[in-house]
Amino acid sequence: MKIVVDRAIPFIEGVFEPYAEVVYREGKDIGRDLLLDADALVIRTRTRCNRELLEGTSVRIIATATIGTDHIDEPWCRSRGIRVCNAAGCNAGGVMNYVFSALYGVASRKAVSLNHPTMGIIGVGNVGGRVQHMAEHLGFDVLLCDPPRAAAEGPEAFCSLDYLLHNSNIVTLHVPLNENTRGMVNASFFSRMRPGAFFINAARGELVNDDDLVAAIPQLGGVIIDTWNNEPYVNPILMEKVDIATPHIAGYSYQGKLNGTSAAVQAVARFLGIDALKDFYPVAEREDLLAQKLDLRGMNQGQITSVLQYNYPIFTDDFLFRMTPGSFERIRTDYRYRKEFYV
């Protein structure tokens, strides 16, 4: 068997070698010629898996060590019998940490009170659910908008997008990128938000119309952006105006990377019948980076801010990115994975 792997996936080198021929490449450099005789492809978001890359190859399974699959043409893959597996929920804790470290950090810098605010969460899957749990732990009121879940489970726990935007002090995006969500955050979206509300996007850049966001910023209380249109090329006007700008690293926790690699390896092992790896989980070489439980109840805003910044000093990531915005991919590749916290 032959397995092609994005070399930037951590904890994976040496795992498949006892059972298959393994070839490592940078994700952007994985080409069709390399896949002609490959059985499996293990990637991140930087490999566009479509007809151009895959037609005529022997690839039977694609495992992405990410929660998103918008870099994969799933309908085409299904039509060719290619299995697609993602690492659902692998980085949910890391993204939740990012949202609250950023929110409290910006609120502190701008002297904005977070006394019993309302957080509107758009998309309540693995990540949105973790954000909801943390918000409730902190005493926030929470509004949830997730039309697919509302249709499946009943509307009682959910509200419309219009209601959420009109009634939230903080709006955070956690939806997948698809034909229904692409460009959903536009001038109409911002016109329905409360003046002074915070806007957070740690989902996908293509959910947002950049020009409309730039125009809306003077009416917003704080803007936090981790994901961008046209990555790795960042809109410099937008970057200059937002309160926190980071290079798509919200989910880059140590625990999240362990989870993502585990999910990808297990998916390939189960599909190809590599019994020894069906329950694979990487050895945690840094026990000091394993997730830590926090209890923030009863703390005031300043104390919470201090604890969150101690556990994740997010302004360091913001500063490094602003100093070298052309190093988007290098910062991600060389990122020092951080310890997750949970409540």
52-91 pLDDT per residue, tens: 999 999 999 999 999 989 999 999 999 999 999 999 999 9
Look at phi and psi of residue 196 and say left if phi exceeds 0, alpha if psi is from -120 to 50, else beta. left
pLDDT surpassing 90 at residue 37? yes
Domain-embedded: residue 289: no
Q: Give the β-pairing of 341-342 and 222-225.
A: unpaired
pLDDT of 90: 95
What is the domain-level CATH number for residue 243? 3.40.50.720
How many Å apart are CA 63 and CA 306, to the nearest integer?
38
Q: Are residues 78 and 148 in the same domain?
A: no
Q: Are residues 62 and 19 in the same domain?
A: yes
Domain-embedded: residue 237: yes
Is residue 224 within a helix (H) or strand (E), and if so which, with residue range?
strand 222-225
120: which strand partners?
Answer: 143, 171
How many Å apart are CA 252 and CA 201, to the nearest integer?
15
Task: Of 94-98, 275-279, 292-296, 316-320, give the lowest mean pLDDT range.
Answer: 292-296
Residue 198 burial (CB count, 10 A): 27
pLDDT of 285: 87
Q: Are residues 190 and 331 in the same domain?
A: yes
pLDDT digits (tens, 9 = 90+) for 206-239: 999 999 999 999 999 999 999 999 999 999 999 9
pLDDT digits (tens, 9 = 90+) for 268-313: 999 999 999 999 999 988 989 989 999 998 999 999 999 999 999 9
pLDDT surpassing 90 at residue 328? yes
Residues 6 or more apart in contact with residue 181 via CB below 8 angstroms: 175, 204, 207
Look at phi and psi of residue 67 and say left if phi exceeds 0, alpha if psi is from -120 to 50, else beta. alpha
Q: Are residues 110 and 162 in the same domain?
A: yes
Task: Classify 305 as helix, strand or coil.
Answer: helix
Task: Of 40-44, 247-251, 333-337, give the lowest mean pLDDT range.
Answer: 333-337
Q: Are residues 117 and 246 in the same domain?
A: yes
> Phi and psi (nearest 5°) for 293?
-85, 135
pLDDT of 287: 87
176-194 average pLDDT score: 97
The number of angstroms, rounded, from the C-alpha of 8 to the middle of its chain's C-alpha atoms is: 16
Residue by residue, DSSP assigns 94-125 as HHHHHHHHHHHHHHHHTT---SS-EEEEE--S
Q: Are residues 126 and 100 in the same domain?
A: yes
Give catalytic residues, as residue numbers. 204, 231, 248
185: containing domain: 92-250+296-342
Radius of gyration for the alpha carbons in the chain, expressed in angstroms and rounded: 20
Q: Are residues 34 and 136 in the same domain?
A: no
pLDDT surpassing 90 at residue 101? yes
Q: Are residues 73 and 110 in the same domain?
A: no
The tokens for 103 are 């929110």
pLDDT digits (tens, 9 = 90+) for 117-161: 999 999 999 999 999 999 999 999 999 999 999 999 999 999 999
Q: Are residues 246 and 260 in the same domain?
A: no
User: Are 23 and 2 spatial neighbours (Cβ–Cβ below 8 Å)?
Assistant: yes
245: which strand partners?
Answer: 225
Q: How much of the chain exceeds pLDDT 90, in percent?
A: 97
